[in-house]
Amino acid sequence: MDHLTDRQLELWLGSIDKITPDEAATISEHLKLCRFCKKKLNTLKAYYYDLEKGLSQSPGKKERAIASKIFQRRNIKVLPSVSLIQTYQAPLEDHRSSLPVRVKNYLHQYPVSSASITLGTFFLAALLFVIQPWQTLNMNPIYAEVEKNVLHVYNQEGERIWHMVVEGILNNTNSEMEADWPSKRFIRITDIDGDGINEVLLTGDDYNGDFSADILYCYNNDGSLRWKQTTPPPISFGDRTHSRVINWDILDFFVYDPSDDTPKLFVTSNSSWFPSVLFELDASKGEILQSYWHPGWIWDVKIYENSFSENDHLILGATNNAYQKAALIILNPDKISGHSPLKESYQPTEVTRASETKYIMFKPSELNELLGFQLYNEISRIRITDDGGLVIRAIEHLQEPNDPVSILYTLNKNFKVLEAKGVAKYQRLYSDMYNEGKLEQPLTNEYWEALKDSVLYWDETTSSFISHGQIEE
């Protein structure tokens, strides 16, 4: 059964006199039988109801933002082939201020589907910008993007409040892009000092442009530079001179905002080989307040809020080069300074041991020992579940088929491992190697239990690691 078109539903709801009696009867019978079309009709009813709720009110901020973006992108002559209802439903639901009566009457009299969407958008833009008076420019930045080496910063109404040339930041990046390896974060707009006004944080892509990859730049809401800060000076890990390389790359920067204290600005930065560092910056001056040093890259960071535990935590997914294992690090945001657990030959002299809430390591599997082109694995993703547990992804890079495979570990809210299980690609490849006689142990539940029990936890009382299987329930 074919579904009714948007235009048929719009006419049926708002201009039924414009269709023939036979077509009206056909639509009526279809709506009695088709749940999908009836649901779409109810969505349209709710939409028009919202329009009629406040006919005397002038357009709100969200409507102005829509029209502003239309005017900013005048070079886009044809919008996507969807109805006006579909295009503007989400913004209007976010901000319930309805449009003036002329818009409602226009939509009812001339239902707009894909064939005439540009007419509707022109009408909306003209109404908001010609009929309504212009308001004072809102100077609180909310969004930014780089086009042709120029950074454009916008407020929530979609108005550009300042711009500048930013050589060294990739084109087509914006403040909504997540730090997603192998990419990195370049722009974040956030309130770093808790005063209700956002700042713009930037870092670069390389070391040759005006914006360097190892420097974080902080701009006030008006575009003036507040401060810039480089990665902390490197420390030596034992006699490994390459731990003092100067090629640092800031990967991510974020604000931890506790409910009972001022916000804290954190930055993660990786060097070419190792170490990596998580450090906190003073929001007003950019000075380094505390630093956590780790002998391997930090791949992912999550904020674990106290709705699940007594205290908030920062959770880092990393690789520990000293032990050649993936590492999960749980830190108290108020007390991160120091270095992670290390072998004696890696011990630094410049900093002392940190005091992590938990430090957990995951050994590479037998498949990595057979086919891996790296001795170690890495935690590339951390996900916090609805019940306060964790699901982490440990990646293993293999020579054949020259493609990474993943093992997922599930942890409870006390950070104890409950389960280990390889993804489908891992299981297929492992089974192939076992069938070819290259691996001795079959891929059974006992295999996954043994891998889970091999997880190591740092024991602060003995300054050593104990296995998951040794931990008392």
Residue 262 token pair: 């001022």
For the segment 244-252, the average pLDDT, to the nearest whole number, is 86
Q: How far apart are CA 88 and CA 281, in angstroms?
A: 40
Residues 253-287: tens digit of each pLDDT: 999 998 878 999 999 999 988 899 999 999 999 99
pLDDT digits 0-9 by tens, 281-339 = 999 999 999 999 999 999 999 999 866 667 899 999 999 999 999 999 999 999 999 99
Q: How many residues appear in the chain?
A: 473
C-alpha–C-alpha distance, residues 154 and 170, integer Å: 18
* Angle (CA) 455 459 461, round 5°: 165
pLDDT tops 80 at residue 457: yes
Residue-wise pLDDT for 375-421, tens only, equals 899 999 999 999 999 999 999 999 877 789 999 999 999 999 999 99
Q: Is 399 helix (H, G, I), strand (E, B) or coil?
A: coil
pLDDT at 471: 60
d(CA 412, CA 2): 48
Nearest in space to 294 (alpha carbons), one of 243, 241, 253? 243
| For residue 404, cis peptide bond before it (omega within 30 degrees of 0) | no
Q: 456 near 357, Cβ under 8 Å?
A: no
SS3 320: strand
Q: What local confidence, expressed as pLDDT, does residue 370 receive?
A: 93
* Token duo for residue 463: 């300054």
Is the pLDDT score of 15 beyond 90? no
Q: What's the rounded mean pLDDT across residues 452-468?
A: 91
CA separation for the pair 448, 440 (Å, rounded): 14
pLDDT score for 101: 44
pLDDT of residue 241: 75
Cα–Cα separations (whole angstroms), residue 289 to 47, 133, 265, 278? 51, 47, 10, 11
User: What percentage of the chain has pLDDT greater than the value 70?
Assistant: 78
Distance CA 62, CA 59 (A): 8
The pLDDT-based confidence of 363 (bands split at 50, 70, 90) is very high
pLDDT for position 252 = 95
For 400, the token pair is 């054949």
Please report the pLDDT score of residue 458 as a whole number: 95
59: Cα within 13 Å, side-chain hemisphere: 26
Strand 288-294 to strand 298-304: parallel, antiparallel, or no bridges (unpaired)?
unpaired
CB 302 within 8 A of CB 315: yes
Three-point CA angle 146, 151, 153, nearest 5°: 110
The reported pLDDT for the residue numbered 130 is 46
Confidence of residue 159 (pLDDT cuts 50, 70, 90): very high
Q: Which is nearest to 99 in space by CA: 76, 118, 120, 82? A: 120
Which has more confidence, 272 or 152? 152
DSSP for residue 131: I
Per-residue confidence band for 23, with pLDDT thresholds at 50, 70 and 90: confident
Please name the amino acid found at residue 442: P
Residues with Cβ < 8 Å from 153, sequence gap 6 or more?
141, 143, 144, 160, 161, 162, 163, 189, 200, 223
Q: Does the pLDDT at position 74 exceed 50? A: no
Span 92-131, pLDDT tens digits? 344 333 344 444 444 444 454 433 444 444 455 544 444 4
Model pLDDT, residue 8: 83
In whole angstroms, give the CA distance from residue 71 to residue 359.
52
- The verdict on pTM exceeding 0.75 is no
Task: Give 17's pLDDT tier (boundaries 50, 70, 90).
Answer: confident
Contacts of 216 (CB under 8 A, 6+ apart): 201, 202, 203, 228, 229, 250, 253, 267, 281, 286
Structure tokens at 78: 């044809």
- State the chain's mean pLDDT as an integer: 82
| 265: number of Cβ within 10 Å | 25
What count of other Cβ atoms lies within 10 Å of the Cβ of residue 150? 14
pLDDT value of residue 1: 55
Bigger pLDDT: 159 or 17? Answer: 159
pLDDT at residue 358 is higher than 80: yes
- Model pLDDT, residue 470: 66
